[in-house]
Amino acid sequence: MSFYVESRRRRYAAAVVLAGLVAFPLLAQALDQGFYVSLMSRVLIYALAATSLNLVLGFGGMVSFGHAAFVGLGAYTVVLLTSAGVVSAWVAWPAAVAVSALAALFVGAVSLRTRGVYFIMITLAFAQMLYYLVVSLKTWGGDDGLPLAARNVVGAGIDLKDDANFYYAVLACLVAALLLVGRLIHSRFGRVIQGIRENETRMEAIGYPVFGYKLACFVIGGALAGLAGALLVNQTGLALPNQLFWTQSGMLLVMVVLGGVGSLYGGALGAAALLILEEVLAGYTIHWQLGVGAVLLAVVFLAPHGLAGLATVMARRRHG
Amino acid sequence: MTQLILEQALNGLQFGLMLFLLAAGLTLVFGIMDMINLAHGSLYMVGAYIAASVAEQSGSFVLAVIVAIGATAIIGALLELAVLRRLYRRDHLSQVLATFALILISNEAVRMVWGDQPVMLAMPEALSGPVEIGGFMYPAYRLLIVVVGVAAAAALYLLVARTRLGMWVRAGASNREMAQAMGVDVQRLFTLVFAIGAALCALAGALLGPLLAVQVGMGESILILAFVVIVIGGIGSVRGALVGSLIVGIADTLGRALLPTLLREVVPLEIAASLGPALASILIYLLMAAILFWRPEGLFPARA
């Protein structure tokens, strides 16, 4: 099957999924299942966070084990701004993006001097520093976190307090982020960072400023994670230090690997699969983590390229 | 003041030695098989729970520690045979995913057996009081931990430096293919190394149980500290793990005890009160970032 047929088919699939997501709140409200709108908002927010990590990990080839720090930083920025009187989403959310991007610039500038396992560990170290900083700052609420007084205001007669409106805001952000990442990975910049992922020495020899490209990729990933954090705190109404703990970074990594490393929709797919699996299992048993763990193990051994890879393999098999 | 520093230094030594028990197994697994095992902290948790149960049933702390070590070593070996063995040839990401799954599974399994609430592990009655050393009082139980920790470190050193098994381990850590070519059965060796690592985890879990809460998730926070230790010390080096553990243990404990007081001397009280604890808890991560920045291979690189 040629690349173009495959990419066209993928575009159709994306359009169908998008149509389904747009119709979802209407359907849920018609069936009187409003709870699912808020659940799906959560799924979409994590889809955004995982997509941002996949840009860094899957396309940039950098195994960042501290990505939750940028999500958490975005969340805290929004809460602190809101309690200072800045309630407009048009100010608070870009500010969250900017703060996370700045943090990523600093963390990246230091961490990218190391390679491999050491890069994993140093990004982890920075995330843990931020976690402990947040926990020990009394003015930031310590262990209890900081509550968000009310969801941010977007104006134009749209009230985000309504779960359906908030859902559409999240969906818009996710779609915009996917479009951006999609454009990015097919641009010159995207080709270069994927070249670096494949062979850093060669790209360096050709004359590309490898460090700068990797840092730019890391910063864009961090910025998008900040947006996810801003949305997350609007959804839960609380910025918690646990959102920065290393297990959260691990969870994001799991989502990306589960969905498919280096596949445009991999992060979103993995986030949706993991959160929906959790929700379904939690409906049956309080020991749902056991089931999630078992499924993850099965994925590692049976579908090494994640769900996106599995879909490709199945499509290939069907079409010969 | 000197007495405070001395006491805290001893506490730091004690914490460092316990970290070493965890880090030793982790660094060998990491060094020989190039495998990231996030589930190492789960063995520590399981060891502590088993010790708590046996101590509750039998009333004997010594028996509890021995049973915990044996049982956890068996669990570790089984885990290696059933799951981890299949991961050595995979990339780091798959290892992270699979061992993260093992954390979820073992946390839930522990919850199913022992319930949600923290479990009590009482320290032996005879050691609950203080003893006098060098002119000041120090808790006897903490002193015991230091002694056991030193003994375990010494035994491990002899095992690695003086025995045939240790020679194989060192050969495997510095060049796995070459060791295999020279006839070392790396597969069996590794199951053994893993069982020893699990046993050390259980020892640390059982000894720290009376001081910290035995609860689900106890492995996650200490696991990251163990990773910090092996990165500082140099991956694959047991000597590096020992030095790294002592640095991290002492820096962390002394930092927590002294930084708030020291800060009060230079900045206003109010800022010091909130900045002190924050700075103390990120101190070791700063240390690790600095060491990685100047010595990216750690203090004692295993692969020269």
Q: Which of A149-158, A228-237, A255-264, B170-179 has the lowest mean pLDDT?
A: A149-158
Q: Is A253 on the interface with B (CB under 8 A)?
A: yes
Q: Which residues of A touch B96 (CB under 8 A)?
A: 65, 250, 253-254, 257
Q: Which residues of B fall within a CB distance of 8 Å from A297?
A: 83, 98, 101-102, 105
User: A39-48, A87-96, A207-216, B266-275: which range is least confident on average?
Assistant: B266-275
| Residue numbers in A near B101 (CB within 8 A) | 254, 292-294, 296-297, 300
- Asked if residue A301 belongs to a domain, the reply is no
DSSP readout, B209-239? TTTS-B-TTHHHHHHHHHHHHHHHH-TT-HH
Other Cβ atoms less than 10 A from the Cβ of A279: the count is: 14
Taking the C-alpha atoms of residue A263 and residue A252, their distance in angstroms, rounded to an integer, is: 15
Whole-number pLDDT of residue A75: 92
Q: Is the pLDDT of residue A1 over 50?
A: no
Hey, which residues does A146 pair with through a beta bridge?
A239
Any chain A CB within 8 A of the CB of B226?
A: no
Q: Containing H/E element for A21?
A: helix A3-30
State residue B304's pLDDT score. Answer: 46
Q: Is residue A68 part of a domain?
A: yes
- Nearest residue in chain A measured CA to CA from B272: A137
Of the pLDDT bands very low, low, confident and very high (cuts 50, 70, 90), residue A148 is confident
Residue A43 lies in a domain: yes
Give the Cα separation of A47 and A228 in Å (integer).
9
B175-179, long-range: CB < 8 A, 24+ apart: B175/B303, B176/B32, B176/B33, B176/B34
Q: What is the mean pLDDT of residues A198-222?
A: 90
B66 interfaces chain A, CB cutoff of 8 Å: no
d(CA A297, CA B65): 31
The answer to whether residues A122 and B292 touch, using CB atoms and an 8 Å cutoff, is yes
Instruction: Please tell me which residue, B176 or A188, carries the higher pLDDT value.
Output: A188
DSSP assignments along B63-90, one per residue: HHHHHHHHHHHHHHHHHHHHTGGGGTTS
**Amino acid in the structure at residue A147:** P
pLDDT band at B122 (very low <50, low <70, confident <90, very high): confident
Domain that includes residue B80, residue range: 2-122+136-294
Q: Is the residue at B229 inside a domain?
A: yes
pLDDT recorded at residue A316: 67
**Residue A312 burial by CB count (10 A; 0-12/13-18/19+): exposed, middle or buried?**
middle
In the predicted model, is pLDDT for residue A16 greater than 60?
A: yes
Residue with tokens 């900040």: A226
Is some CB atom of chain B closer than 8 A to the CB atom of A302? no
The verdict on residue A123 lying in a domain is: yes
CATH number of the domain bearing residue B267: 1.10.3470
Percent of chain A with pLDDT over 70: 95
Which of A116, A124, A261 is the closest to B224 by Cβ?
A124
HSE, CB side, 13 Å, CA atoms: give it for residue B257: 18
B271 part of contact set with chain A, CB < 8 Å? no
Higher pLDDT, A107 or A27: A107
| Predicted pLDDT at B302 | 67
| Residue numbers of A between 104 and 123 with CB closer than 8 Å to B | 110, 113-118, 120-122
Average predicted confidence (pLDDT) for chain B: 86
Look at residue A101 in the predicted model and tell me its pLDDT. 94
Selected residues 111-150 of chain B with any CB under 8 Å from a CB in chain A: 111-112
Using CA coordinates, name the residue in chain A closest to B106: A290
What confidence category does residue B109 fall into, taking pLDDT thresholds of 50, 70 and 90? very high
DSSP assignment of A37-54 equals HHHHHHHHHHHHHHHHHH
Closest-approach residue (CA) in chain B for A136: B278
What confidence tens digit (pLDDT) does each residue in A152-183 have? 777 777 777 777 788 888 999 999 999 999 89
Confidence of residue A5 (pLDDT cuts 50, 70, 90): low
Q: Is the pLDDT of residue A88 over 70?
A: yes
| Nearest chain A CA: its distance from B155 CA (Å) | 29
Residue B286 has pLDDT above 60, yes or no: yes
Round the average pLDDT of chain A to a whole number and report it.
Answer: 84
Residues B185-232: tens digit of each pLDDT: 888 888 888 999 999 999 999 999 888 888 888 888 888 889 889 888
How much is the pLDDT for B282? Answer: 83
Residue A178 lies in a domain: yes
- Residue B303 banded pLDDT, cuts 50, 70, 90: low
A247 touches B: beta carbon within 8 Å: yes
First to last CA, chain B: 43
Each residue of A28-37: pLDDT tens digit?
777 777 778 8
Q: Is A149 inside a domain boundary?
A: yes
CB contact (8 A) between residue A287 and residue B98: no
- The pTM (predicted TM-score) of the whole model is 0.84
User: Distance, in angstroms, between A294 CA and closest chain B CA?
Assistant: 7
Q: What is the pLDDT of residue A318?
A: 64
Region B9-36: mean pLDDT is 87
**Average pLDDT for A84-109:** 89
**Residues of chain B positioned with their CB less than 8 A from the CB of A242:** none
Residue A2, pLDDT above cutoff 60: no
Q: Which of B86, B235, B292 sits opposite A301 (nearest CB)?
A: B86
CA distances from A264 to A4, A192, A196 (A): 16, 16, 18
For residues B249 and B15, give the distance between their C-alpha atoms in angstroms, rounded to a whole number.
5
The number of distinct structural domains making up chain B is: 1
Alpha helix (H) residue ranges in chain B: 2-33, 40-58, 61-82, 92-114, 140-162, 164-174, 176-181, 186-208, 218-233, 238-266, 269-294
Q: What is the band of A95 on the pLDDT scale with cuts at 50, 70, 90? A: very high
What does the alpha-carbon distance between residue A72 and residue A236 come to, in Å, rounded to a whole number?
13
Mean pLDDT in residue range A253-271: 86
Report yes or no on B247 lying in a domain: yes
A-chain residues near B231 (CB < 8 A):
117-118, 121
B87 in contact with A, Cβ within 8 Å: yes
Total of domains in chain A: 1
Q: Is the pLDDT of residue B288 over 90?
A: no
Arithmetic mean of pLDDT, B8-26: 90
Contact A258 B98 (CB under 8 A): no
- Cβ neighbours around A243 below 10 Å, total: 23
Contact B296 A115 (CB under 8 A): yes
Please indicate whether residue A226 or residue B272 has the higher confidence score (pLDDT). A226
Lowest mean pLDDT among A4-8, A91-95, B238-242: A4-8
Q: Which domain holds residue A183?
A: 16-243
Burial class (CB in 10 A: 0-12, 13-18, 19+), A275: buried
> A50 CB near a chain B CB, below 8 Å?
no
Q: Which chain A residues touch B220 with a CB distance below 8 Å? A: 246-247
Does any domain span residue A271? no
Instruction: Please judge whether A257 and B96 are an interchain contact, meaning their C-beta atoms are less than 8 angstroms apart.
Output: yes
Q: Is A264 within a domain?
A: no
In chain A, residues 257-296 whose CB comes closer than 8 Å to chain B? 257-258, 261, 287, 289-290, 292-294, 296
Q: Quote the pLDDT of residue A224.
A: 94
**B110 Cα distance to chain centroid:** 20
- Stretch A39-60: mean pLDDT: 91
- Please state, in angstroms and rounded to a whole number, the distance separating the CA atoms of residues B164 and B191: 16
User: Using CA atoms, how far apart are residues A76 and A298, in angstroms rounded to an integer?
Assistant: 36
Res. A319 pLDDT band, cuts 50 70 90:
low
Percent of chain A scoring above 90 in pLDDT: 25
